[in-house]
Every structure is written in structure tokens, then in C-alpha cells.
Structure 1
Amino acid sequence: MTIWLPDADETLIARVAVGFATGAATPVADMRWFRDTERRDIQADLPGWPEGPSFTVRSKSERRLRKGARFGGGVLLVATLGVLESLAGSGSTGNAATLGTPEEPENEVEDFPVLWAAPNTTARTLPWQLDPARRPKEQRTHLVVTDRRVLVLGLRDNKDDPLDEVLWETARSNVVVAARKEFCRYDTDFTITFKDGSWCRLAGWNSNCRDDATRSLETPLPLMTPDDLTPGQQQAVQKLLEGKRPGGTLLLYRRPSRNVYVTYQLDDRVDPAYGVGSEAFKLMDPDGENARFHKGDI
């Protein structure tokens, strides 16, 4: 068993299971593309990538049939064609109610790029193992964020023998922004944009993976030290850690609401399905009391 650990002078902030995202709107559902800045398909040009599936955006007639099949009846299909035709223009056929309004129709409905990269840019160096359609079923990929680096690890889907392998890394300073995406299934999607303008769209194993990843990639990193806490907050943290195994990492996040989000993680306790989760966590107000959640706290 080989578990990746940060260097002695480095702090592990997050480790979560991720992969390239998957389209949710009907025209691009269950599909993804790899594009250059002219919207050309570049997957055949990515060095070392094995061959993968080729997708085509669904036509309006295919969208109607896909929706009609779900209803399970031709009569109902005919009755709904008029409504579906009007929805098809926006690309939200069949799931407008659950997905809401796309933030970027050109990238979420009309097309679904998960890699957007001009030649010789950072996103083109991302490992093919992030692609669920190429990655072996017995393998997982984890995104690791430290105070210095961002990495992608490959590992076996086996709690007793993870066998970490570093597939890719870049300096943390190469990341400009990580943004959560609202137009997706299960609140899992987010994008990472690099200094050269290239970006990728990833999906966490669940919404907590996405939230841990994007919070850890905020710039500037909003970490506090125990000395930054009020006496009430210091007491709350001390109580939170009672009975917990020593040697873990305590992370204190200053949030825009003035609340403080506290997590305690054991860096060597890796779950292939998730990554490294919190052994304990708390959202506290300036007095150290449990705080009411505001958008952006987590």
C-alpha cells in the first residue's frame, strides 16, 4: 500500500475524487468533448491519450424521441411534440425543471467541452485517466490541493491497497480560479481555469468533493491560524478535537459571512471513492457557537 503524502514543509488542504464532467442537458447528455479555442475536437491530438468514444450533439428530432421514450407511449409523444419543439431551441428539452437555466448555453447545452485549451497550454497536459470513458473501471482519480501544488493521482479502487501514482501536477499559483457550476446533476461540477486561459470542467464524486476542491483553491487561500481565533472559537475547536486521533491536519477557513469553517482530517485515511474526508468539522460564529449557514460558507 502506497499513500501519497505531502512534503514535510507542505500542507495537504484537500484530496477528493474527481473526473471529467458529463453533459446533463438533453442535447449533450452523457457526453463530453475536448476542444481548442476554435471549438475543434482535439482529443486525437493529446499526447499519450488512448482512443476514446466519439460523440455527436443530438438533433432536435433525437431529443424529442429520447424524451418520448421516457414517457413510454407514442400518443403522449405526439401530444407533447409542440411543447418539446419550443424547449428544444434552448437545448433544455426534458430536464429544464431539474437543471434550471444554463449559465453558459454554448458550453452546457449546444456543446459540452470539459477541456478548453489552445496549443501548448496547461489544460492539454491533464492526464487521460480523468476521462471516465477511458479510465479502467478498477481505477480512480483524485485531485489533491496543497498550499503549494495541485496534483492528480491515480489509484486502485481498493481501500486496503490504494497504490497512489502521481499522474500530473502544477504549481498552485498556476490556477487562476476554481468555480462551482450550477447547471449540472447532483451539484458536482466545477471548472479550473489556469493562467494561460485554458480550463477544464471536472465533477466530484459528490457535492462535498466539489465543495472541498473549490474552497481549497480559493485565491488568496483563506486559511487562518489558531491565533486568529477569538477565545470562544479557540475553546470550540479544542472541544471539537477531543478524542480525535492526533497527527491530523486542522484547517480553519475564514468565510465571507465572518463565520469560520473548521475541518480536521487524517491525511493517511484515504477512501478511494471519496478521498480524504473530515474527521470532524464545524461552522462557527465569532463567539464559537454553531453558525447558520450562508452561501459560500462551505
Structure 2
Amino acid sequence: MAVWEPRRGETLLSRGPVEFATGMAAPVSGMRWFRDTERRDIQHELPGWPEGPTYTVRSRADRNVRSTARKAGVFGHTLVVLAASALGALGSPFGEPRIRGKSEDPENEVDDFPVIWAQQGGIARTLPWQLDPARRPAKYRTHLIITDVRLVVVGFPDDDPSRDESLCEMDRPFIARAERKKFSQGHRNFTITFTDDSWCRLHSYSENALGRILRHLSSTLVPLDQLTSPQRNAIHAYLAARAESDRKSGGSGRLNPYGIVTRRPSGNLLFETWSEPAEPVNGIAGYGIHLMSPEGGHPTLQPGDLD
């Protein structure tokens, strides 16, 4: 095995850590399900999947018992917890609330928590079991790779991407949309809906990686040889400014000029470059981004330009 690489003529856009999401609301905390469109549990129908835990949504009585036990155990720390929670809501370095805001989809976030939703033969059923934290081996990670033609899920043990194993792949035309789900830890859950209306709910523990994943699930690659002269000049000026800044800070000033350009929903263009190889925690680490208008100028930032 070796580090995964794209095929000849294929452009790598993003790589980052993902796994099936985990419920956060009290009835489903720490749990996840694999459902068909009738809400039946289908984990035993998924081909090649090993046995995993079977969960039951907590009743209100169960939640009351757990809540009472917690209150009894932390009574002496109530003021500290309240203070830390209040600071966390304001962006305190002490941490962030596990859940922010109100559920946008209580049927699938509070009353139930499916991470695969698929009819018989649905595309979401082809996802690998290694994405499940409750099934995969200890010290094993999974990354989602996005190129201009396909999505690939790879796994590797012992924090060593040089031992990448391709677990599944699918062509990009099968992707209908991707959406961040705010009712989650750090707002880092997201769903991918496929063209057959099956979907999955995933989580990334890296905000930078998630930003790149979502951006490149909804972007259109613009080949560098199709850029206009003003657009190329804007990129050269940006790279020159970055190199000068690097020299002033004690660096060599020799930056990797390789990059990609994508067209955002607003019509603006985003140039991205990175110089680090894929690493376990963050996948591909972005080195710099430059947003420009179709004319190569400095545009007003529009919704979706950087997401």
C-alpha cells in the first residue's frame, strides 16, 4: 500500500478525515442507526459488514434517571460548569457547547439518528463499514478524497497514510448535494445526498478539512489553461505577495505554485494552493486561498464563496 494518488488526468481537490456521525441529543446521544425509507434498521443487510452494536432510543424515563445521576455527581461543580458553558457560547478557549441552536431536523436528529438512509439498492448502502467508529479497528482512520471526477473513501492504520487502502469510490455525477448540519459538535456534521435520494450523515473533527470537503462537493473545476490573462495575472500577483511575506518572516520565499481554481455559486473564482502532503489529522492542509471576480479583480464576498 502507498499514499493514494489520482489517476493520470484526474485532479485532486480535497482530502480530509470523516466518519459516520454520532447522535448528540439526549434520546440518541452516543448512538447511530442505518435505516431504509421505512425506518427499519438495515445494518444486518449491508454486504460485508461485521456485527456492530444495536442501539435503542432512550425513553424519557431513561433520560430522567441519567439526568438525576449526573446532577448528583456534579452538584459541587455547578457554578464552574455554568460559567464555562457561558464562556464557551461566547467562543471561550475553555471549549464550545456540544450542541448549538435548535435542531433543524428533529425527526432525524432527536427522535432518531440515521447516518445511512437508503432504499434497497440505494447508493448510500455502498459506503464502507470502516466509517463506523463502533466497528472499525482501534487506531484506524478514514479519509474522504474528492477529485474532479470521483469520491473515494480510504482507510489507513496507525496514523500512516502511506498505508492507504481504498475502501469505496463513486463517480461525482451520483452526488446531488452536500449540506452542513449545525445541530452537531462544532457544527461539523454534514450530509451527502445522492441522486437516488439516499443519503449519509458524516462528521469531520477538522473544521479546515470540512470546509474544503463541502467547498469541493459543490464546486466546478476551472482548468488553469482556460483562465484569462487578468485571472492568471491576479494569481501570479497573489503568489508573489505570499512569497515576499514568507521571506520577510524568515522563510525561503520559494512557494509551491501548484494550485486549483474553482467556480463558486456566485460566479467568483477561488484559487487554492497547498504545499504539505496528506497527514492523518487534517488530510490535505490548505496553504492559501485567493478569491477573485471573473475579471480577476477583488470581489465582494458572497454566501457560499468560501464554504
The TM-score by the shorter chain falls in which range?
Answer: 0.7 to 0.9
> Aligned partners of 2:209 and 2:186: how far apart in 1?
11
User: Under a length normalisation based on structure 2, what TM-score does the superposition of the two structures give?
Assistant: 0.79
Q: Displacement, 1:165?
A: 0.9
Give the 3 Å change call, closer, same or farther, for CA 96–152 of structure 1 in structure 2. Answer: closer
Name which of 257, 264, 276 aligns with 2:273: 264
**Residue in 2 that maps onto 1:89:** none
**Residue in 2 that maps onto 1:180:** 180
- State the SS of the aligned residue for 1:167: strand
1:107-256 matches, within 5 Å, as 107-159=108-160, 162-218=162-218, 221=220, 223=222, 225=224, 226-227=227-228, 229=231, 231-232=233-234, 234-240=236-242, 243-246=253-256, 249-256=258-265
Number of residue-to-residue matches in the alignment = 275
Give the 3 Å change call, closer, same or farther, for CA 222–105 of structure 1 in structure 2. Answer: farther
**Residue in 1 that maps onto 2:68:** 68
**Residue in 1 that maps onto 2:83:** none
> Aligned partners of 1:177 and 1:260: how far apart in 2?
20
Give the 3 Å change call, closer, same or farther, for CA 245–287 of structure 1 in structure 2. Answer: closer
Q: Which has the higher helix share?
A: 2
CA contact (8 A) 1:241 1:280 kept: no
> Aligned partners of 1:28 and 1:230: how far apart in 2?
51
**Residue in 1 that maps onto 2:24:** 24
CA contact (8 A) 1:157 1:272 kept: no
Give the 3 Å change call, closer, same or farther, for CA 209–133 of structure 1 in structure 2. Answer: same
- State the SS of the aligned residue for 1:66: helix
C-alpha RMSD of matched pairs (Å) = 2.9
| CA-to-aligned-CA distance 1:22-78 (integer Å, 9 cap, x gap) | 1111111111000001000000111110000111111112222333333336999xx
CA contact (8 A) 2:235 2:271 kept: no
Q: Displacement, 1:261?
A: 3.6
The AA in structure 2 aligned to 1:55 is Y
Q: Displacement, 1:236?
A: 1.7
> Aligned partners of 1:260 and 1:253: how far apart in 2?
6
**Residue in 1 that maps onto 2:89:** none
**Residue in 2 that maps onto 1:297:** 305
Q: Displacement, 1:238?
A: 3.9
Give the 3 Å change call, closer, same or farther, for CA 24–75 of structure 1 in structure 2. Answer: closer
CA contact (8 A) 1:99 1:183 kept: yes
Name which of 271, 274, 283 aligns with 2:282: 274
Give the 3 Å change call, closer, same or farther, for CA 249–129 of structure 1 in structure 2. Answer: farther
> Aligned partners of 1:257 and 1:119: how far apart in 2?
37
CA contact (8 A) 1:156 1:272 kept: no
The AA in structure 2 aligned to 1:106 is E
Deviates more, 1:164-173 or 1:258-267: 258-267
CA contact (8 A) 2:24 2:99 kept: no
> Aligned partners of 1:64 and 1:284: how far apart in 2?
54
Q: Displacement, 1:100?
A: 1.2
> Aligned partners of 1:74 and 1:3: how far apart in 2?
46
| CA-to-aligned-CA distance 1:72-95 (integer Å, 9 cap, x gap) | 36999xxxxxxxxxxxxxxxxxx9
CA contact (8 A) 1:187 1:206 kept: no
> Aligned partners of 1:249 and 1:144: how far apart in 2?
18
Instruction: Flag structure 2 segments of 5+ consecutive residues without an equivalent.
Output: 77-95, 245-252
CA contact (8 A) 1:20 1:130 kept: yes
CA contact (8 A) 1:222 1:255 kept: no
- State the SS of the aligned residue for 2:166: strand
| CA-to-aligned-CA distance 1:208-248 (integer Å, 9 cap, x gap) | 222211111115x26474437274454124433673554x7
Q: What is the aligned-residue identity percentage?
A: 43
Deviates more, 1:66-75 or 1:196-205: 66-75
Give the 3 Å change call, closer, same or farther, for CA 110–223 of structure 1 in structure 2. Answer: farther
